Structure 1
Amino acid sequence: MAKPMEPIGARLRATRDLTPDVRLFEIEPDYPSAKVTPGSHIDVLVPIDGRPQLRSYSLVGPGGDGLYRIAVKRVASGRGGSVGMWRLKAGEPLTIFEPRNSFELSYGRPDYLLLAGGIGITPIYTMALALKQTDANFRLLYAARSRSDLALADELARYIGERLQFFVNEEGQRIDIAGEIARLDPRGELYVCGPFGMLEAAKRVWREAGRPAAQLRYETFGNAGKFADAPFRIRIPRLGLEIDVPAHRSLLEALEDAGVDMIFGCRRGECGLCVLPILEASAEVDHRDVFFSGEERATNGKLCTCVSRAASGSLTIDTPDRTRTPRHSRDAPVV
């Protein structure tokens, strides 16, 4: 099983609302890291339903003062992480893990295009500040549903000025992704963080333009999927298991709860480490990953257990794990 690094003690120093549903958290770690680079994130143990659960949040700003800042969008229909974070009060102790970076910014490129949608501005904000400091050639295009949803807008406008352009959906404004990519220097890089639709569109246009895959970097904050979260059941014939997956828990978490030894990494549907094969599905599979292509998702051959789920009914899946340590009485043998 992939595990985070050693836990670090911390406390919540202060909070500040950036928008009606985005809150900035200032976290003071016992041992600040010198390894914070643009695109870094920290894992936080968030109290959800009376138990600590791991959630990842991008770091906002350079953090040179020894504080870690994260921005959390409150999502009532999510898996409880944002609600748990919003319940925290200044002064409360936290358990976090050392910053890591799976969305690294490369320096020295002739041109950069940064695309952000909604709360996806959090890593992009830090990248923009870093590129401005090095006097790089870049543009930041920031889309949101309404003007009140543009978190960090004033700070960005002050720091990077005319390099920044806003796109407000309620005012009929949309980013012309194809046109913007066409303007980018052939040796330039595209960085994207935003909703699933934005990321998929950027990946498709980039591929159709014949641009090198290595010059496209992206991160997602989640895909809500085509269906609302609902409970479903999974069967694992190899292990003789049936496991109920509640609406508020991921398939990966349910497997872990049942003692199935899983391999995982990002928990955001990006890395593919937690992928398992689908043997049979009684309902539509709601793929919410960015690891597979659209064509691969359509085959329903595999799914990312950290984010994808069934719309209802049951899934029969396979796993290389041949042993288990039952943890919950709901586990029952397949009949």
Structure 2
Amino acid sequence: IIEVTTQGEIALGIKVQGLVSRAAQLLHVGECVEISQPQGDFILHQGQQPAILIASGSGITAIYSLLQQALKQQLEQIHVIYFNRAEIFHAELKALAEQHPQLQYHFFNTTSQKQHLTESLLQKLVPDYAQTATYVCGHHGMMQQANEIYAQKGAQSQLHQEYFQPL
């Protein structure tokens, strides 16, 4: 789930290779599905400003949802750092950054740019990252790198992670 609108509509992120996504692609307009309430604790903490949202791969779906919350809460500054070989949500994120001056969007194509999460990149994009609430979701290697970066700075309390596990 990417977003629940004020009209009660649910926006889903559908990825061709995903198990649940394949099942969703077989649905027809008007069909009913059973859903449960959201579970987990990967939520934007109230009152924390600014925020850094880091995603890799399909972890962007959870980060996109947090971004929607951050924009609704009108956080004073939001950094989205997104690593992927495909440009899933890239156009949407770029458009949001153009509409919201407090949103800084950084996209890195991991195939053509060969860029991954490093301390030096984080320092360049958000110099005070170690003092900023940071939310990370994505591939295991990127998550591990984020843990190491924040541990070296003694800033583990700023790091909130959601480990993405394909079904």
Structure 2 unaligned runs (5+)?
none
Structure 1 unaligned runs (5+)?
1-58, 224-267, 269-335
Paired residue for 1:102, among 41, 61, 73? 41
Q: Where does residue 219 of structure 1 map in the other structure?
A: 162
Q: Where does residue 248 of structure 1 map in the other structure?
A: none
- What is the distance in 2 between the residues matched to 1:181 and 1:109? 19
Q: Deviations over 1:180-238 (max 9, x none)?
A: 44423443111111111111111122112211x33211112227xxxxxxxxxxxxxxx
- Secondary structure at the aligned position of 1:95 is classed as coil
- Secondary structure at the aligned position of 1:202 is classed as helix
- CA gap of 1:74–1:218, structure 2 versus 1, over 3 A, is same
Q: Where does residue 261 of structure 1 map in the other structure?
A: none
User: What does 1:209-288 align with in structure 2 at a 5 Å threshold?
Assistant: 209-211=153-155, 213-222=156-165
User: What does 1:186-197 align with in structure 2 at a 5 Å threshold?
Assistant: 186-197=130-141
Q: CA deviation at 1:167?
A: 0.4
- What is the distance in 2 between the residues matched to 1:62 and 1:184? 32
Q: Where does residue 143 of structure 2 map in the other structure?
A: 199
Q: Deviations over 1:21-65 (max 9, x none)?
A: xxxxxxxxxxxxxxxxxxxxxxxxxxxxxxxxxxxxxx2135211
1:153 matched to 2:93: no
- What CA RMSD, in Å, does the superposition of the two structures yield over aligned residues? 2.3
Q: Where does residue 7 of structure 2 map in the other structure?
A: 65
- CA gap of 1:170–1:186, structure 2 versus 1, over 3 A, is closer
Greater C-alpha Rg? 1
- What is the distance in 2 between the residues matched to 1:81 and 1:62? 18
Of structures 1 and 2, the one scoring higher in RCO (CA 8 A, sep 6+) is 2
1:137 matched to 2:77: yes
1:127 matched to 2:66: yes
Q: Where does residue 115 of structure 2 map in the other structure?
A: 174
After superposing the two structures, state which structure 1 stretch, 81-90 or 198-207, moved more.
81-90
Indicate conservation of the 8 Å contact 1:120/1:221, yes or no: yes
- What is the distance in 2 between the residues matched to 1:164 and 1:117? 14
Q: Where does residue 302 of structure 1 map in the other structure?
A: none
- CA gap of 1:177–1:65, structure 2 versus 1, over 3 A, is farther
Q: Which protein is richer in strand relative to its size?
A: 1
Aligned amino acid, residue 153 of structure 2? A
Aligned amino acid, residue 105 of structure 2? L
Aligned amino acid, residue 82 of structure 1? S
Indicate conservation of the 8 Å contact 2:55/2:136, yes or no: yes
Indicate conservation of the 8 Å contact 1:181/1:206, yes or no: no
After superposing the two structures, state which structure 1 stretch, 189-198 or 80-89, moved more.
80-89
Q: CA deviation at 1:136?
A: 2.1
Q: Give the paired residue count.
A: 159
Q: CA deviation at 1:81?
A: 3.2
Percent of aligned pairs with the same amino acid: 24
Aligned amino acid, residue 125 of structure 1? Y
Indicate conservation of the 8 Å contact 1:144/1:169, yes or no: yes
Q: Where does residue 30 of structure 2 map in the other structure?
A: 91
- What is the distance in 1 between the residues matched to 2:120 and 2:105? 16
Aligned amino acid, residue 112 of structure 2? E
Q: Where does residue 321 of structure 1 map in the other structure?
A: none
- What is the distance in 2 between the residues matched to 1:216 and 1:187? 10
Q: CA deviation at 1:110?
A: 4.0
Superposition TM-score, scaled by structure 2 size: 0.81
- CA gap of 1:110–1:83, structure 2 versus 1, over 3 A, is closer
Aligned amino acid, residue 94 of structure 1? V
Indicate conservation of the 8 Å contact 1:117/1:143, yes or no: yes
Q: CA deviation at 1:142?
A: 1.0
